[in-house]
Amino acid sequence: IGFGPKIFKIKKGETEYAVSLIPLGGYVKMFGDDPLNKDSIPVAERDRSFTFQGKWARFWIVMGGPLANFVMAYFIFFSLLMMGEKVPEIRMGIIPKDSSFYEKGLRSGDRVLRVNEKEVFNPTDLMLDASETLKTITVLRGSEEKKLVINWKSDKFFNEFVNYPPALRKPIIVDPKGELYGLSFDSKKIDWNLSLDQISEIYNGEQPLYMYKVVEDKTHPEIGFKQTGNFISKISLPSRGEDSLYQSLFGKNFRPLDLKIESVNIKSPAEKAGIKSGDIRLSLNGKSVASFENLRDSLQEITGDKVTLRLWSDQREKEVVVQPEVKEVDGNSLKLIGVYSAVEYQGIRFIETPAKSFLSAFTFSFTRTWETIVKTIQSFKKLVSNQVSFKTVGGPLSIGKVASDSFNTSISYFFQLMALISVNLGVINLFPIPVLDGGHIMFIILEIINRGPVSRKKMEIAQQFGLSVLLLLMFGALYNDFSRFF
């Protein structure tokens, strides 16, 4: 296990087991597996040497590693299908009104149910075969299903979909005193399944909207708030015009919770301007803002060195002039004032898929494993053709972070990730790069074609090239990891 100097080893029989210093994968070193030094193997031991085995024997020995990866993925999928899976809903994030998704009829908070009339349970299910078109998508909006015509290539849809992560705000608003209220279409209780963004989207100016007094409730972390009684007010909006919900709330002296400032960085532009924790942002250069994201985006569009912010501070309105600082964030220059939002996002909601019969799970696991292999190969093709940035490649730190997040999400989601990683390792191992199993297979195929082994010189050049490529990929992945986390 691992590479580099051995820190622990034990020998049983003729096999040595070792743990090495660098925990990046592992390997099996077989007796006599170096074709460049095969002549040094004693004649009496050549029948046990890898190099002196027949072509097909060597092929299946080498193929055993990648095949084990695929078999492991198959049994993980089989077990999950037999037990039933608990997976996060596939939900849209904030869909801007000027986006192509909005033009197609998709709205913030829509939950994806079916693609081309086929049920979907994972985001990768949105990635059809390269030749397929995503014709229709069925979503759940509130309590109503809507079937939308898309007619896009699946990779175009998926690439657009990942731009809108489901960061949806809880339906909480705040008044100048800092007191909290919840919004709901239900006259008896707050529907915590509907976000503030969804309420704004689906309100049609006809149904009443109710307001409840709420307080923080740490005993139920999945919600974080609880209502303290019956609704205290009914909000009627005069029209369905753009952002009519927010305009009505502004007129009644309420703001979305994410406009409240949670904390201010020391020596930041905000602190120098007198902004403090608990202040609530109202407008930027005279223009009302409906969300923290709206404020941040508007800040980037403003020309000039200074901006004017109107706030609620200590239950009174005040106006401050702030000079934003420009910082590099992920390669982009952003104007920042040094404040953090008190935003509360909705938690992940799960759906449980029904358990399948033994026969159904047995056959469907093959399909799922094969589809995962195909999608993995397509992803590598896009990486090579520069359709996907190399910055998306992650190393051990990224894998550890994703594994930890998936484990905290659900056990079945964690094992789905393990199956995906196993398939990825199997595919990578089949790359025709010397020092990988795929490189050995390539040499065996060339040996069959040439009716003889590859020359020593060509093999040395190929191995040096393969090792260089592998090290380059490893260092690139590690560099991406350190760029993300440090």
Give 290's contacts (C-beta < 8 A, 6+ positions apart): 243, 246, 256
Q: Could you tell me how far CA 263 lies from the centroid of its own chain?
A: 27
Residue 93 has pLDDT above 60, yes or no: yes
Max Cα separation, the chain? 94
Domain boundaries, the chain: 1-30, 39-86+357-486, 172-341
Each as own residue / partner, the long-range contacts of residues 365-370 (CB below 8 Å, 24 or more positions apart, any chain) are 365/74, 365/75, 365/77, 365/78, 365/81, 366/74, 368/77, 368/81, 369/70, 369/73, 369/74, 369/77, 369/419, 369/423
- pLDDT surpassing 60 at residue 435: yes
Give the total residue count for the chain: 486
Contact 125, 88 (CB under 8 A): no
Helix (H, G, I), strand (E, B) or coil at 439: helix
Question: How far are the Cα atoms of 29, 42, 48, 50 from residue 45, in angstroms, in the given order?
Answer: 16, 6, 6, 10
Straight-line distance from the first to the last Cα atom of the chain, in angstroms, rounded to the nearest whole number = 27
Burial class (CB in 10 A: 0-12, 13-18, 19+), 241: exposed
Instruction: Classify strands 209-216 and 15-22 as parallel, antiparallel or unpaired.
Output: unpaired
- Find out whether 288 and 250 touch, Cβ atoms under 8 Å: yes
Mean pLDDT, range 49-70, rounded to an integer: 86
Higher pLDDT, residue 21 or 388: 21
Identify the CATH homologous superfamily for domain 172-341: PDZ domain (2.30.42.10)
Q: What is the pTM of this model?
A: 0.70
User: What pLDDT score was predicted for residue 78?
Assistant: 95
More confident residue, 478 or 344: 344
pLDDT digits (tens, 9 = 90+) for 291-327: 998 899 899 988 888 999 999 999 999 999 999 998 8
Highest mean pLDDT: which range of 9-13, 104-108, 241-245, 330-334: 104-108
pLDDT digits (tens, 9 = 90+) for 97-123: 889 999 999 999 999 999 998 888 777
